[in-house]
Amino acid sequence: MSEYLRQTNRKNMAKEIFDKVEAIIVEIQAAQPEGAEAIEQFRIKYLGTKNIIKPLMGEIRNIPNEQKKEFGQLINKAKEVAEEKFAALQAVSVAEAAQSDANSIDLTAPGEPLALGARHPVSIMMNRIIEIFTRIGFTIAEEREIEADWYNFTAMNTPEDHPARDMQDTFYMRGIENMLLRTHTSSVQARVMTTQKPPIRIIAPGRVYRNETISSRSHCQFHQVEGLYVDEKVSFADMKQTLLYFAKEMYGPQTEIRLRPSYFPFTEPSAEMDVYWGLKDETDYRITKGTGWLEILGCGMVDPAVLENCGINSKKYTGFAFGMGIERQAMLKYRISDIRYLFENDVRLMKQFGRAF
């Protein structure tokens, strides 16, 4: 074949290939795929790994040198047109989907109820106790959890090296002398008595800490409610009557109580109060150790030394005090077998308390 013929041939071939690419560009511009499926087909055909533009690129070897650049540009244009078209198609399809979602909202359908959380059983018990005592004139006193040794122990008639300090294992603050995490809400008694004059009638709910091994029955943090009543002529009989009223409100009008002599450094005489729980089933036997009686709180007449430590004249004033653990009461009331459940915040437990506010 003569050189002339070969060149003419190549030119014709080149024209054919150029025409092909241009036809594809026109085809892309004219395409009107509708719906997600058709748009995906469009993408596969023009932009996918096996798109129809790619094989044309290989044809560049049949293009005369002086036209190669122009051909490369045309191929690039085809790709660009396909990309732009695809982006435009996608934008339209997203907008349409949003529109159809909006259309499908039924404005007449009843609203979805908002899920309300439930109160924690400890809060339920705490609120109940507070409510019972505020009804007879007690006010709430809240105080710090990081406390000075003096308020937690010394003022409460438990000076350093007093053996009763061993009754409560204490977390001391590292590097801060004489500061600790309060081991009981009795510290609030000292805070109140050093700043207020009798008559004093407070209850102090709050969290307390003890350096105890965590088990099903004890935890290193729990809650207490403390009560304190100081005035002229406050008697043991007043205390008993107040606590009987509390027990009946808390556990029902038939509730019986008994006071057992006990020891606390800050009260004299001291007692522990039991309520009669009954012996109806095996669990009752277990939790009351076969007696039917359950210990609920510690109490007593405020030791004159405590009043004096806090600047209150013990010749003129007397008082009673009591303290109780909240988790214990919640566990009894709701028959929760492990105190740790109360600190895990597992919604499966919390949900069972419904919306008992």
The residues binding ligand DAH (CB under 6 A) are 184, 186, 226, 264, 267, 298-300, 321-323
Query: In terms of CB distance, is 198 or 298 closer to ligand DAH?
Result: 298
At its nearest, how many Å lie between ligand DAH and the CB of residue 350?
A: 27
Burial of 357 (0-12, 13-18, 19+ CB in 10 A): exposed
Query: In terms of CB distance, is 59 or 145 closer to ligand DAH?
Result: 145
Query: In terms of CB distance, is 56 or 296 closer to ligand DAH?
Result: 296
Closest CA to 318 of 327, 328, 308: 308
At its nearest, how many Å lie between ligand DAH and the CB of residue 264?
A: 4
At its nearest, how many Å lie between ligand DAH and the CB of residue 269?
A: 10
- The rounded distance, in Å, linking the Cα atoms of 213 and 93 is 62
Query: In terms of CB distance, is 186 or 288 closer to ligand DAH?
Result: 186
Q: What's the token pair of residue 49? A: 């790994």
CA 175, 146, 215, 273 dihedral sign is positive
- The rounded distance, in Å, linking the Cα atoms of 324 and 201 is 16
At its nearest, how many Å lie between ligand DAH and the CB of residue 114?
A: 40
At its nearest, how many Å lie between ligand DAH and the CB of residue 298?
A: 3
Which one-letter DSSP state was computed for residue 114? P
Q: Which residues pair with 31 in a beta bridge?
A: none
At its nearest, how many Å lie between ligand DAH and the CB of residue 233?
A: 19
Sorted by sequence, the CB contacts under 8 Å of residue 233 that are 6+ apart come out as: 318
Query: In terms of CB distance, is 24 or 203 closer to ligand DAH?
Result: 203
- The rounded distance, in Å, linking the Cα atoms of 208 and 10 is 95
In the three-class reduction of DSSP (H, G, I as helix; E, B as strand; rest coil), residue 146 is classed as strand
Query: In terms of CB distance, is 206 or 298 closer to ligand DAH?
Result: 298
| Residues 39, 47 contacting (CB under 8 angstroms) | no
In the three-class reduction of DSSP (H, G, I as helix; E, B as strand; rest coil), residue 51 is classed as coil
